[in-house]
Amino acid sequence: MDEYEIFRGGGDYFNPKTPVAALKAYESGFIPITAFINRSNSTKPLDEEPYDIEAIERLLSRENLTLKSNLMLMGIFEKLIFHRDQEIALFAAESINIIENRYNNKIQEIKDKQEVDKTSDDLSTLGTLFYELAILNGKRAAIKDFYLKESLSCFTALEEIRNFSDRELNLYIRLLLELKLDEEAAKTLENDDRKNRKLILFLQAETEFSRKRFQKVKEICQELTLHIEELTEREFVMVSYWLGA
């Protein structure tokens, strides 16, 4: 569906009644961001210029935002720091710091805890936080590379303790691809014997696409079609794209 389909009455979509419910539904992927903004008394998408500063502030006030939400906000703030209105530019700069500090505070809390009781779950969480910080700093190559390597260090240590969960494997492969370690990603997937065949195939397709082995991608996608009922909407779109590549 397009972003405004939910307001036209087309389809059986979840229709939240309050801004809080709309935000939760948006972050869970059930509705587009426009639905949240609509419930927050805004008539247009949050990332559409001219920006609705009040709506942006409301979203920023939520501390446990998803990476998707933080990415959108960072994109907005990276534009607003050049705004001719110095007050808005300052707001944007401070907001970027707020988002980054939330991550840094969580990281420090876990590091402090590890001094007393280090667990595999802590390594997993740290690796995830570093990875998300890297993605949020996509336009700052040196900073992004630093956080990617910090994340890799965490997941490498985790792998020595136990096998990755599906979520961890998914993130680890994306981490390797971000670091241009395509061969290592391919080898990791080849040696993984987990039952979630759909996940392995999908990650293999992404890896082979990154390696520019497009015929191999199509072969994997043909096998993925056997799991079509398990594919999310995003995965289905990606498979369709790869088959047409």
Q: pLDDT > 70: what percent of the chain?
A: 81
The pLDDT value given to residue 183:
96
The string of pLDDT tens digits covering residues 10-53 is 444 445 545 555 565 566 665 565 555 555 454 568 888 889 99
**Cβ atoms of residues 47 and 75 within 8 Å:** yes
Q: Report the pLDDT averaged over residues 208-231.
A: 91
The 8 Å CB, 24+ separation contacts for 51-60 are: 51/76, 51/80, 53/88, 53/91, 56/95, 58/19, 59/23, 60/95, 60/98, 60/99
Q: How confident is the model at residue 180 (pLDDT cuts 50, 70, 90)?
A: very high
The string of pLDDT tens digits covering residues 119-141 is 899 999 999 999 999 999 999 99
The pLDDT value given to residue 46:
86
The pLDDT value given to residue 119:
87
Q: How many CB atoms lie within 10 A of CB 57?
A: 11
The pLDDT value given to residue 227:
87
Q: How confident is the model at residue 103 (pLDDT cuts 50, 70, 90)?
A: very high
The pLDDT value given to residue 124:
96
Task: Report the phi/psi class of residue 196: left, alpha or beta, with left for phi > 0 and alpha for psi in -120 to 50.
Answer: beta
Domain boundaries, given as residue ranges, for the chain: 183-245
The string of pLDDT tens digits covering residues 43-102 is 568 888 889 999 999 999 998 899 999 999 999 999 999 999 999 999 999 999 999 999
Residue 1 scores a pLDDT above 50: no
The pair of three-digit structure tokens given for residue 141, joined into one six-digit string? 């190559």
Residue 118 scores a pLDDT above 80: no
**Cβ atoms of residues 20 and 11 within 8 Å:** no
d(CA 65, CA 71): 10
> Could you give phi then psi for residue 170, rounded to 5 degrees?
-55, -45
* DSSP reduced 3-state for 109: helix
159 CB-near residues (< 8 Å, 6+ apart): 172
157-183: burial string, b at 16+ Cβ within 10 Å, e else: ebbeeeebeeebbbbbbbbbbbbebbe
**Cβ atoms of residues 193 and 215 within 8 Å:** no
Q: How confident is the model at residue 9 (pLDDT cuts 50, 70, 90)?
A: very low
Number of residues written out for the chain: 245
> Could you give phi then psi for residue 4, rounded to 5 degrees?
-105, 0
The pLDDT value given to residue 11:
43
182 CB-near residues (< 8 Å, 6+ apart): 176, 207, 210, 211
The pLDDT value given to residue 2:
40
CB-count burial class (<10 Å; 0-12, 13-18, 19+) for 191: exposed
